[in-house]
Every structure is written in structure tokens, then in C-alpha cells.
């Protein structure tokens, strides 16, 4: 995907990819831990895999030997190298260590244990995990969301600097909490300076346990961790919760949409409950945690039964009682006399008892406001101890009752265990629920671990969690732990050993999980796609503006600026001079030659056909040029001097068949030199259009003279240094940007620092962009504007923060031209200043200076949205012959060099129309692409059609590489399926060394599986057992 980014943002592709590319091995001599705490964590997790226990021990020894010889190795690079090359199955050892020394010691300890044939598992709290019989995938995995009571001061504080999604959610909650009337952001109730005096700390502690703060804080933390775990690739089979954590669980299940409204309403509910508490509307009770089961307790307390009731059955060793204040001392005395431990909890109202029934109205109103949908993921209720019903109305009723009925957590866990859940991950702070599970299932086969606990740092606990889960073969996307830390792949095994068997794919880097970044939620994917469109178009717009500026300079309306020569002007359907214009332009790949150098999905998709690239789409700068050309007809005699409020809503992809774009331009009544323009696309087989909603809008500005440029400013850079990539590396050497030769106007990347980046562009000739206009005339230079955004991408690639490097423009506040467009060959200095950024957004200013040092174009602000993409897809788009999108599964079906079985889990983002089309364009042969674009099927079936073939091709490619060492492009293979369902594959590049492997593939929602075998018929059967899919592979 690089390509996408290509644009401007090439960003994302960045170093992350370095690490994931087997070819980029870093010389050991250069490896050293940076002192930057963002790069160097206090601990790292290391996962070693062997095909069996013997192979694992051998590999363990190899690693120990390597560490002995390289005591200065950077642990994060070693962790990155090991963990991102994991393949499914086999035998796994996971270790958490804070130094090379401790890592060696723990490896030694593990080696001793593994040498003992009686050792069936290692679960050492210090960080050694191994299981002869891993619980995954046979056992289901549950996420558990804690409720109030899990919050603690400074929770997640140490994760904030490292995980943008955590920061983003804190920021969102802060914003909404203040908008909702809180005097201070909610995070200020959670985060206290480390040096705060004891008195202040105690006060903050008390305040954090007030109901409004408690609910808001726990939900903020729950969801932040959910986002983090999701990005780490954790995909739960089921969900459950405790008390108010049910809001988070219902949201994760899809019953609620996670948006501002949800958070605002939940915060408001907390405030209302607190007010009811403060005003004495809710009777005061004492909540008492008691270390025994409820039946035994209530037997003891029979004489006090009118004053006590059970609020929570958490586990055999903890029941929470609601006691009348006047009876509490007696209750405590009776219980402690029997050796039962009692602890008063800092809550003072009878939640989860019938006493709360009179106060359910606000809760009911909340559910009415939010609406409820059926869950997408099975979810359990902690008051019934059973699965939630699917009916939204039944869910709503149950959720309201939840507040006035006892929590039956222990019973719920028992039900989940009976239903096949074996792995419980607590998605929230502190770890209470984990200990409840451990107590409830004591003595049985299961695993429970918290994502966050009080007594370990957030990063270390995260590493332990990842280690334990990886040792149980739970797939994780480990890249998420290293993306922001400049990971480097190191060579710790002799190069020859890289081929097999540890890495059956050799230099390939298989993806480790379905998706990346904050994903998985439909709304997020939708937003992402929208912004992607925005970004692409924005970029194009920028280019166009520059061109317009230059063109106008050359004499707007001069001899070479006649409308007849304007290449993007289409058929004028209606024209009221000086007022309004309607134009339609046919977008045709045979005419718009530039589009083939501007392709989503990047370039070079085939070794057979060098012209086979990604999905062409309209560059933003060309959109600007089109807008300027049409608008110019309404204000004859004026110069193009800029644009204002350009908003990019969607991509406009090209198709094999021409696409029509409709443009409306209207002179603003109050400003006769300003023309408002809307661009709509009618759609095509690739992407349905939406005539009701413009793809691009903006105001084109004209004038009699160019404005005077502001004086040139110095451009000091903090931490200044050379740029990470040269211009050549960005375009061709590393394939960081997707632009073809026509667009490669960045000629040097000069310097960069914290505040931005500087480089040089060179205006390119405009020949070859249009078939009918060998020497087109532009109002602005689209190529130059486009290239100014390439430098921006380079800046992001050079940053230590390796996430969020796909940045997509969604709005251009203003583009101002201060003079005419420079002549072809002119060198233009380009300065990109980062004006502000957050986890989600980046705002830039781009200045383009002529050879005289004068500013001739400024784009400011250029607003970008940041995205977090799956690295495996990024890498695949960069080098499609080198990377797979599938992962080996099931592992025991794979026989190196003979049989390969793998699965592909379609990420949400790549199921979106345009991105899916881009993926299809680079993975299908031209004939297959022709069939794909004309499929008359549902969206889901279209996705299944594509990913089934991708899986089949991946299986063939992986197997072919194992036997022949030759890498094939997926688009050079053609898979056909006969009417009886048999699949055959053909290489479209001529004769191969032997016949391609035979292949079978099958798809179910969310997963495509393929098996390939040399010289044998292969059969693949998918079956659903105990809620999980299994694959059976047979060959003859």
C-alpha cells in the first residue's frame, strides 16, 4: 500500500517496512539501543518457535550463543526480528526480559526445563512461558471488561507516550468531558503528578472513586486498552464484563456505536448518579467485600438478612454485600469471628441490588437515546451468567435490569468455560477480573491474564500478556509494539538457516494477523476510507494550485493559456456567463495518461507485464486544475490566485471503461472573483459514484494581480539532520511512494528536524500527460503541487514515531499563488512545516520558493488525518512478489516443499470498495480483473471471491518459493474454478521449471483458506467445531 500513500504521505510505509523486509538486515556493528525512552522499553518480549520441541531447544541454544557473542544487541530489534517472523503452530517459548543478561538467564532456565521430558509447561511469573498443549485455537478467547472499582490513579499513564490510540481516546474523553460540563478534563481525575504530596494523592484517590469519575475513568481506560489490544491483533471469540464494564463490552460487540454521543451520554449518566448520591436520593449503604461464597455468608448472616443482601458473586473467595450502615459493624463482627475477611469498599450506594430499582429511569433513558443493535460477537451477561440474547430489545431490558440485580460473575465464567472459553484476557485496568477467573476455575485448564495491573508498568504487563498469549499460539500482530520504535531486522542466525525450516517463507514476511491499526470497527474503516479519499484529492489539489499559480503567472489568459488548450476542460452542458457553469469531463485512461503513474496499490504488479500497476485514480492536484479551468470560464480576464476551503470527500478511481465527472461552478454573489466548485463522479464498475454528494468541493480565487508574498522566513530545525531517504529511494529504490516517472518531481531531500523538512523540487515537462494534448497548458502545475506533498511523506518516514505515518489530507485551508508558474526545469525550494499534530491529525504548512528566494506558493493549513495501517499490507504493496498476505494455517498441514496450507483474513479496510479494488488490481491477472469488476454479486461475495483467489495464489507462491527459490507475482498467476468447483492455476508468463502446484481453496465470512500441493490432488474441508473453524487437508 504504499502506494496509497504514496502520495504524500508515504509515510506509513516507512521504517516499519524496513523491519519487515527480510532483505534489509542491519549489520550488527551498528546495532545499539537508543537512549530514547520511546525507543527503549524497560522490558521486551521474545517469542521463539520451533517445528517441534527439539527444534525449539536447538533454536533456543542458537539464540543463547548469539547473545553471548553480542551482548550489546538492541533488544527491541531482536524482539522485532523474532516476533514478526512467527509462523503458526509448532512449539513456542516466550520470554520477557529487561536486559541481555536476564534474557540469557531465562533462556538457560527454559533450556533446563525443556530438557526434562516430564515438563509439560512453564509459567514463570518472571517471564518464561511454554505449553506443550497450547489452549489456542481449540479454546475460545474472551475479552473481559472491568467496571468501576478497577480504576486507579495514573492508570495507563505509562502507555500514553507509546500508543497513539490510547492518547487519542484520552483526548477524545477529555474533550467530551469538558463539553459535557466538567470543570476539568476527565484525565485530570486520573493522572496525578508523580511528585504530588500524599495529601493531594489521597484526595485524588477519593475523588476518583466518586461515581461520575469512576464510571468515566474505567470506561476511558477499558476502551483505550481495547483499541490497543485490537491493534495488537487480538480478536476475541466472545466478550464479557463486570458491572459498568458492560457498556464497553456491548460497544465492542457492536451493540452500540463507539462515537462522541456514546461517550457523552455515559459521562452524563455518571454525573446524574453522582448528583443523586450527593442529594441523598439514593439510600446509603455500605458495600463490603467478603472472602467467602455467598451461600456460606448468608447462612451466617441469617439474623441480619433484612439489613444485608448480596450485590456481587465474584468468585469463591469474594462476595460483595450491600449492608445498611447501621448493621455493618455487626455483620463484620459475625464474619470475622469465623475467620472470614471483610473489607469496606469505597462505594456507598446499593448498586446491583433490588434497592436500586427506583433509580433506573436515567439508565433506561440512556438506552433509549443510544439505541441497541444485535451483537456481532457473542457477549455474556454478568447478571444472568448466560449469553446475551440477540434481540436488541431483550438486550436493552437486560442491560437496564443489570443495575438492580446481583452480579453473577462466577456463574458467568463457569458458563463460558462450559462453552469452550479457555483464554480470558482482561481488557481494563488493575486485574481484578483476572483473579476472579483464576479463583473460579482453579484446578482446571485455562489461562487468565490482565492487560494492565497496578503493580507492574503498563509496558511490562503488556509484554507478559503478549508472551503468555503467544505461548498459547494466539495470533498477535507484534509489529504494533515496534512500529514507533524504529525497528531494525537483525541477523542472529546464520544466513543459510534463514531459508528453512524456521521461516518456511524465506525472505517473505507473512502477516501475523488480520488487521492493523485502530480497526475493526466499521465506523473507523469508513472514516479511514473517507479520509483516504480526502488525502489523495487534497494532494492533487495542491499540485493543481501550484500549476495554476504558475500558469497564471505566465500570463493567465496569455497566449498559452487559452481554454482550448486546457486539458481537463470537458463538455460544457450549461453556461451562464459570469454566474454558473455545468461541465462533464470523461475520464478515460486512453486519454488521461497521467493516471497510470498515479495508482493506488502502487506499481509493478507483474514480472510478465511491466505496464501492470495499481488502480489509477484522479490526483488531487489534477482535481484542482480541473476546478480552476472550469471556474476560469466564469471570470474571464482574471488571474488564478488561489483556492480556499478545498475539501476532499472521496477518491475518484479510473476504470477500464471511461468514467464521467460532473463539475458545477457558481460565482459567489458576494465575491465576483470567487467561484464555488463542486465535483461529482458518476461512478463506474470499480466504484459506484454518488451524484448526490460531491467528491471534492472548494472555492477558486481569481484576481487582477498576485498578492505580495510575505517576507521569507528562516527555517530553523530542532534536532536537524539529514533525511532518512533520498528522492530516488522514495520513488524507486525503496518504493516508499507510489508515483510513476511522470510525477517524480522531488529531486532532493535536504534536511529535516522536529519542525519539518526541506528539499528541492524541479518543474517537470508536461508532455506525455494527455493523449490529445501533447503539450498541455495548465493554470497551475499539478505535477509540482503533487510533488510538494511527497516531501511531507518523507518527513513522516524519518520520524521515530513509526505509527500513524499514513497521513491523508482532508482539507486545504488556503492555497495562495504569489506569482506565475516557473518554467520547466526550475528548481523550487520546498519547506514543509509541521504546525501541530496529535495522534489523529497533522496540520502542515507548505512553502514553495522560487530561485530568487521569494515565496511563490503557500498551502496552509494542510490538514491531514493520520492512519495506522497493517504493515503486512504496506509491505505487500511495496514489493508484491516478496510478501504474502496469508499465514500458514493449519500448521500441521504444511509439508515444506510439498504442501502449503494457509489462510487470509480480509482486513476491514481492504474490504472497502476502492481499497479492495486496488488490491484486486495488483493481485489479479488482467483477465481475472475483467471478471472481478463485472461480478454481479453482493459486496460480501465480491470480497470472498477476491480473497479466496489471493489465498490460493499465496499458497502456490509460498510453495513454489520453497521448492524453486523463485518469487512469483500473484497477478502473474491465474486461478480458474470449474463448474464442479475444482480450481486450477496457470502461470501467464510462459513455461516454468515444472507444473504449478495443484490448489484448492474455500472461504467463509472473515477467512479464506487455500491448500496447494505439488503433483497431487488436494482437498480442503472447512468445518466449524465448538465455534471455531478448522481445516482438514488431504492430498493424493
Partner 1 sequence: MTQEQILNDVASILRNFNGREYSGDIGLDTRFFGDLGLASIDAVVLGETLEAHYGRKLPFHLFMADLGRRAVRDIPLGELVAFLHNHLNISTTIG
| Stretch of 208-216, 310-318, 508-516, 781-789 lying at the interface with partner 1 (CB under 8 A) | 310-318
How near is the Cβ of 435 to partner 1 at its closest, in Å? Answer: 4
Asked if residues 791 and 832 have their Cβ atoms less than 8 Å apart, the reply is yes
Partners of 756 in beta bridges: 753, 833
Secondary structure, 3-state, 99-134: CHHHHHHHHHHHHHHHHCCCCCEEEECCCEEEECCC
Asked if residue 118 binds partner 1 (CB under 8 A), the reply is no
Asked if residue 340 binds partner 1 (CB under 8 A), the reply is yes
d(CA 835, CA 814): 15
Asked if residue 125 binds partner 1 (CB under 8 A), the reply is yes
C-alpha to C-alpha distances, 237 to 7, 287, 907, 1018, nearest whole angstrom: 37, 33, 17, 30
How near is the Cβ of 624 to partner 1 at its closest, in Å? Answer: 58
| Stretch of 393-401, 436-444, 693-701, 998-1006 lying at the interface with partner 1 (CB under 8 A) | 436-444
Helices in 317-457 by DSSP H: which ranges?
A: 325-336, 361-370, 392-401, 409-418, 432-440
| Stretch of 66-74, 258-266, 333-341, 1023-1031 lying at the interface with partner 1 (CB under 8 A) | 333-341
Those residues whose C-beta lies under 8 Å from the C-beta of residue 296, and which sit 6 or more positions away, are none
How near is the Cβ of 429 to partner 1 at its closest, in Å? Answer: 13
Residues 695-724 that bind partner 1 (CB under 8 A): none
How near is the Cβ of 312 to partner 1 at its closest, in Å? Answer: 13
Asked if residues 471 and 134 have their Cβ atoms less than 8 Å apart, the reply is yes
d(CA 82, CA 86): 7
Asked if residue 414 binds partner 1 (CB under 8 A), the reply is no
| Stretch of 171-179, 335-343, 507-515, 676-684 lying at the interface with partner 1 (CB under 8 A) | 335-343
How near is the Cβ of 729 to partner 1 at its closest, in Å? Answer: 46
Q: Pairing between strand 140-145 and 421-426?
A: parallel
How near is the Cβ of 253 to partner 1 at its closest, in Å? Answer: 27
Can you tell me which of 42, 99, 120, 126 binds partner 1, judged by CB under 8 A?
A: 126
Q: Pairing between strand 421-426 and 447-450?
A: parallel
Residue 588 corresponds to which cell in the numbers above?
A: 478515460
Can you tell me which of 33, 98, 414, 439 binds partner 1, judged by CB under 8 A?
A: 439
Phi, psi for 109 (deg, rounded to 5): -60, -45
Nearer to partner 1, 106 or 680 (CB): 106
How near is the Cβ of 20 to partner 1 at its closest, in Å? Answer: 33
Residue 269 corresponds to which cell in the numbers above?
A: 449518566
Residues 88-107 that bind partner 1 (CB under 8 A): 106
| Stretch of 259-267, 332-340, 363-371, 850-858 lying at the interface with partner 1 (CB under 8 A) | 332-340
Show contacts of 1012-1015: CB within 8 Å, 24+ apart.
Answer: 1012/899, 1012/900, 1012/901, 1012/952, 1012/955, 1012/956, 1012/958, 1012/959, 1013/898, 1013/899, 1013/900, 1013/959, 1014/897, 1014/898, 1014/899, 1014/959, 1014/963
Nearer to partner 1, 118 or 455 (CB): 455
Can you tell me which of 40, 109, 376, 411 binds partner 1, judged by CB under 8 A?
A: 109
How near is the Cβ of 300 to partner 1 at its closest, in Å? Answer: 14
d(CA 819, CA 997): 62
Give the x-and-dash track for 825-864 against partner 1 (CB under 8 A).
----------------------------------------
d(CA 997, CA 898): 9
Asked if residue 123 binds partner 1 (CB under 8 A), the reply is yes
Give the x-and-dash track for 138-167 against partner 1 (CB under 8 A).
--------------x---------------
Asked if residue 422 binds partner 1 (CB under 8 A), the reply is no
Can you tell me which of 169, 432, 530, 604 binds partner 1, judged by CB under 8 A?
A: 432
How near is the Cβ of 441 to partner 1 at its closest, in Å? Answer: 10
C-alpha to C-alpha distances, 151 to 25, 38, 94, 191, 248, nearest whole angstrom: 43, 25, 29, 11, 14
Asked if residues 795 and 754 have their Cβ atoms less than 8 Å apart, the reply is no
Nearer to partner 1, 201 or 365 (CB): 201
How near is the Cβ of 454 to partner 1 at its closest, in Å? Answer: 6
How near is the Cβ of 224 to partner 1 at its closest, in Å? Answer: 21
Q: Pairing between strand 342-344 and 1018-1025?
A: unpaired
Can you tell me which of 455, 574, 936, 1025 binds partner 1, judged by CB under 8 A?
A: 455
**Burial label, 719 (beta-carbon count in 10 A; 0-12, 13-18, 19+):** exposed
Asked if residue 434 binds partner 1 (CB under 8 A), the reply is yes
Give the x-and-dash track for 877-916 against partner 1 (CB under 8 A).
----------------------------------------
| CA 850 and chain centroid, separation | 39
Angle at 685 between CA 680 and CA 690, to 5 degrees: 25
Phi, psi for 2 (deg, rounded to 5): -50, -25
| Stretch of 125-133, 168-176, 250-258, 718-726 lying at the interface with partner 1 (CB under 8 A) | 125-133
Partners of 979 in beta bridges: none
Total length of the chain = 1036
How near is the Cβ of 9 to partner 1 at its closest, in Å? Answer: 42
Residues 232-291 that bind partner 1 (CB under 8 A): 289, 291
Can you tell me which of 345, 400, 860, 1022 binds partner 1, judged by CB under 8 A?
A: 345
How near is the Cβ of 346 to partner 1 at its closest, in Å? Answer: 9
**75 in helix, strand or coil?**
helix
Residue with cell 449492608: 323
| Stretch of 314-322, 515-523, 613-621, 661-669 lying at the interface with partner 1 (CB under 8 A) | 314-322
Asked if residue 456 binds partner 1 (CB under 8 A), the reply is yes
* Prior bond of 466 cis (ω within 30°): no
Can you tell me which of 438, 483, 749, 802 binds partner 1, judged by CB under 8 A?
A: 438
How near is the Cβ of 236 to partner 1 at its closest, in Å? Answer: 22
Phi-psi region at 625: left, alpha or beta (left = phi > 0; alpha = psi -120 to 50)? alpha
Asked if residue 122 binds partner 1 (CB under 8 A), the reply is yes
How near is the Cβ of 799 to partner 1 at its closest, in Å? Answer: 34
d(CA 474, CA 466): 9
Nearer to partner 1, 315 or 679 (CB): 315
Asked if residue 313 binds partner 1 (CB under 8 A), the reply is no
Asked if residue 938 binds partner 1 (CB under 8 A), the reply is no
* Prior bond of 925 cis (ω within 30°): no
Nearer to partner 1, 152 or 478 (CB): 152
Instruction: Give the binding-site size for partner 1 (rule: CB under 8 A).
Output: 33
How near is the Cβ of 315 to partner 1 at its closest, in Å? Answer: 7
Asked if residue 315 binds partner 1 (CB under 8 A), the reply is yes
**449 in helix, strand or coil?**
strand
Can you tell me which of 294, 435, 546, 606 binds partner 1, judged by CB under 8 A?
A: 435
Can you tell me which of 120, 184, 333, 442 binds partner 1, judged by CB under 8 A?
A: 442
How near is the Cβ of 106 to partner 1 at its closest, in Å? Answer: 8
* Cβ atoms < 10 Å from Cβ of 573: 12
- Chain residues in the site for partner 1 (CB under 8 A): 106, 109, 122-126, 128, 152, 205, 289, 291, 315, 317-318, 336, 339-343, 345, 431-432, 434-436, 438-439, 442, 454-456
Amino acid at each position: 500500500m504504499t502506494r496509497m500513500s504514496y502520495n504524500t504521505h508515504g509515510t506509513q510505509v516507512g521504517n516499519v517496512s524496513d523491519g519487515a523486509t527480510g532483505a534489509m538486515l542491519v549489520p550488527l556493528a551498528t546495532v545499539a539501543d537508543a537512549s530514547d525512552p520511546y525507543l527503549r522499553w524497560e522490558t521486551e518480549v521474545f517469542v521463539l518457535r520451533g517445528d517441534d520441541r527439539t527444534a525449539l531447544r536447538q533454536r533456543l541454544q542458537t539464540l543463547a550463543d548469539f547473545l553471548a557473542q553480542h551482548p550489546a544487541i538492541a533488544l527491541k530489534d531482536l524482539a522485532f526480528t523474532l516476533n514478526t517472523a512467527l509462523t503458526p503452530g509448532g512449539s513456542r517459548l516466550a520470554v520477557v526480559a529487561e536486559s541481555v543478561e536476564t534474557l540469557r538467564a531465562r533462556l538457560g532456565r527454559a533450556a533446563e526445563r525443556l530438557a526434562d521430558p516430564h515438563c509439560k509447561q512453564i509459567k514463570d511469573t518472571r517471564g518464561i512461558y511454554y505449553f506443550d498443549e497450547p489452549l489456542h485455537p481449540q479454546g475460545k478467547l474472551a475479552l473481559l471488561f472491568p467496571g468501576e472499582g478497577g480504576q486507579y490513579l495514573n492508570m495507563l499513564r505509562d502507555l500514553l507516550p507509546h500508543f497513539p490510540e490510547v492518547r487519542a481516546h484520552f483526548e477524545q474523553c477529555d474533550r467530551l468531558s469538558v463539553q459535557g460540563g466538567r470543570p476539568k478534563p476527565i484525565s485530570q481525575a486520573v493522572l496525578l503528578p508523580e511528585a504530588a504530596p500524599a495529601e493531594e494523592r489521597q484526595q485524588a484517590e477519593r475523588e476518583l472513586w466518586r461515581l461520575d469519575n469512576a464510571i468515566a475513568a474505567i470506561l476511558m481506560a477499558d476502551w483505550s486498552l481495547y483499541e490497543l489490544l485490537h491493534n495488537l491483533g487480538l480478536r476475541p471469540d466472545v466478550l464479557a464484563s463486570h458491572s459498568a464494564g458492560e457498556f464497553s463490552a456491548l460497544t465492542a460487540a457492536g451493540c452500540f456505536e463507539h462515537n462522541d454521543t456514546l461517550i457523552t451520554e455515559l459521562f452524563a449518566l455518571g454525573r446524574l448518579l453522582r448528583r443523586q448520591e450527593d442529594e441523598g436520593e439514593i439510600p446509603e449503604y455500605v458495600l463490603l467485600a467478603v472472602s467467602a461464597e455467598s451461600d456460606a455468608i448468608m447462612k451466617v448472616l441469617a439474623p441480619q438478612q433484612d439489613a444485608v443482601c448480596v450485590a456481587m458473586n465474584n468468585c469463591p473467595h469474594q462476595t460483595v454485600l450491600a449492608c445498611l450502615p447501621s448493621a455493618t459493624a455487626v455483620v463484620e463482627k459475625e464474619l470475622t469471628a469465623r475467620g472470614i475477611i471483610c473489607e469496606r469498599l469505597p462505594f456507598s450506594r446499593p448498586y446491583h441490588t433490588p434497592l436500586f430499582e427506583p433509580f433506573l429511569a436515567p439508565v433506561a433513558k440512556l438506552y433509549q437515546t443510544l439505541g441497541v443493535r444485535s451483537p456481532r460477537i457473542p457477549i455474556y451477561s454478568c447478571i444472568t451468567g448466560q449469553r446475551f440474547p440477540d434481540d436488541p430489545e431483550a438486550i436493552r431490558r437486560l442491560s437496564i435490569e443489570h443495575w438492580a440485580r446481583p452480579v453473577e460473575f462466577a456463574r458467568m465464567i463457569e458458563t463460558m468455560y462450559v462453552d469452550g472459553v479457555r483464554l480470558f484476557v482482561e481488557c481494563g485496568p488493575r486485574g481484578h477480573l483476572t483473579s476472579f477467573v483464576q479463583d473460579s476455575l482453579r484446578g482446571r485448564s485455562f489461562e487468565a491474564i490482565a492487560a494492565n495491573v497496578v503493580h507492574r508498568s503498563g509496558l511490562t504487563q503488556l509484554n507478559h500478556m503478549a508472551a503468555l498469549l503467544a505461548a498459547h499460539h494466539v495470533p498477535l500482530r507484534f509489529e504494533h509494539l515496534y512500529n514507533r520504535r524504529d525497528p531494525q531486522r537483525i541477523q542472529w542466525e546464520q544466513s543459510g538457516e534463514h531459508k528453512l525450516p524456521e521461516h518456511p517463507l524465506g525472505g517473505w514476511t507473512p502477516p501475523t494477523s488480520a488487521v492493523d491499526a485502530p480497526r475493526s470497527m466499521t465506523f473507523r474503516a469508513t472514516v479511514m476510507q473517507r479520509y483516504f479519499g480526502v488525502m489523495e484529492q487534497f494532494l492533487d489539489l495542491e499540485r493543481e494550485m501550484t500549476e495554476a499559480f504558475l500558469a497564471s503567472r505566465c500570463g493567465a489568459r496569455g497566449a498559452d493559456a487559452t481554454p482550448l488548450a486546457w486539458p481537463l476542460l470537458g463538455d460544457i452542458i450549461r453556461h451562464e456567463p459570469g454566474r454558473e457553469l455545468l461541465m462533464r469531463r470523461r475520464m478515460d485512461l486512453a486519454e488521461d495518461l497521467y493516471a497510470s503513474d498515479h495508482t493506488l496499490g502502487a506499481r509493478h504488479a507483474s514480472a510478465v507485464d511491466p505496464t501492470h500497476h495499481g488502480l489509477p485514480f484522479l490526483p488531487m492536484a489534477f482535481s484542482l486544475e480541473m476546478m480552476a479551468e472550469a471556474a476560469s470560464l466564469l471570470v474571464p480576464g482574471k488571474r488564478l490566485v488561489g483556492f480556499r476551503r478545498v475539501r476532499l470527500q472521496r477518491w475518484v478511481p479510473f476504470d477500464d471503461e471511461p468514467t464521467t465527472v460532473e463539475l458545477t461552478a457558481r460565482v459567489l454573489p458576494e465575491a465576483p472573483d470567487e467561484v464555488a466548485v463542486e465535483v461529482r463522479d458518476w461512478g463506474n464498475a470499480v466504484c459506484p459514484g454518488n451524484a448526490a454528494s460531491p467528491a471534492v468541493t472548494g472555492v477558486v480565487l481569481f484576481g487582477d494581480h498576485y498578492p505580495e508574498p510575505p517576507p521569507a522566513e528562516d527555517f530553523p530545525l530542532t534536532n536537524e539532520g539529514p533525511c532518512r531517504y533520498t528522492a530516488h529511494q522514495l520513488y524507486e529504490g525503496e518504493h516508499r511512494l507510489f508515483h510513476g516517472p511522470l510525477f517524480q518531481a522531488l529531486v532532493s531531500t535536504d534536511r529535516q528536524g522536529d519542525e519539518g523538512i526541506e528539499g528541492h523540487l524541479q518543474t517537470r515537462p508536461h508532455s506525455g500527460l494527455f493523449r490529445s494534448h501533447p503539450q498541455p497548458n495548465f493554470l497551475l502545475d499539478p505535477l509540482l503541487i503533487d510533488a510538494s506533498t511527497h516531501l511531507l511523506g518523507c518527513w513522516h518516514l524519518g520520524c521515530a514515531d513509526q505509527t500513524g505515518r499514513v497521513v491523508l489530507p482532508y482539507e486545504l485551508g488556503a492555497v495562495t499563488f504569489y506569482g506565475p508558474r516557473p518554467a520547466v526545469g526550475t528548481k523550487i525550494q520546498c519547506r514543509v512545516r509541521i504546525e501541530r499534530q496529535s495522534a489523529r491529525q497533522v496540520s502542515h504548512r507548505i512553502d514553495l520558493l522560487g530561485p530568487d528566494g521569494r515565496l511563490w506558493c503557500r498551502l496552509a493549513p494542510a490538514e491531514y488525518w493520520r492512519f495506522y495501517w497493517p504493515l503486512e499490507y504496506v509491505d505487500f504493496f511495496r514489493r508484491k512478489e516478496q510478501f504474502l498476505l496469508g499465514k500458514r494455517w493449519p500448521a500441521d498441514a504444511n509439508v515444506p516443499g510439498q504442501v502449503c496450507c494457509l489462510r487470509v483474513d480480509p482486513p476491514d479496510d481492504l474490504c472497502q470498495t476502492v481499497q479492495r479494488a486496488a488490491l484486486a488490481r495488483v493481485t489479479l491477472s488482467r483477465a481475472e480483473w475483467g471478471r472481478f469488476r463485472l461480478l454481479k454479486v453482493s459486496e460480501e461475495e465480491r470480497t470472498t471471491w477476491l480473497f479466496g483467489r489471493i489465498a490460493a495464489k499465496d499458497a502456490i507462491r509460498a510453495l513454489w518459493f520453497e521448492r524453486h527459490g523463485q518469487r512469483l507475482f500473484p497477478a502473474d498467476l491465474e486461478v480458474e474454478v470449474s463448474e464442479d468447483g475444482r480450481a486450477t492455476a496457470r502461470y501467464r508468463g510462459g513455461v516454468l521449471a515444472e507444473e504449478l502446484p495443484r490448489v484448492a481453496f474455500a472461504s467463509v465470512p472473515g477467512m479464506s483458506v487455500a491448500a496447494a500441493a505439488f503433483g497431487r490432488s488436494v482437498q480442503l474441508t472447512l468445518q466449524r467445531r465448538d465455534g471455531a473453524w478448522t481445516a482438514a487437508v488431504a492430498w493424493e
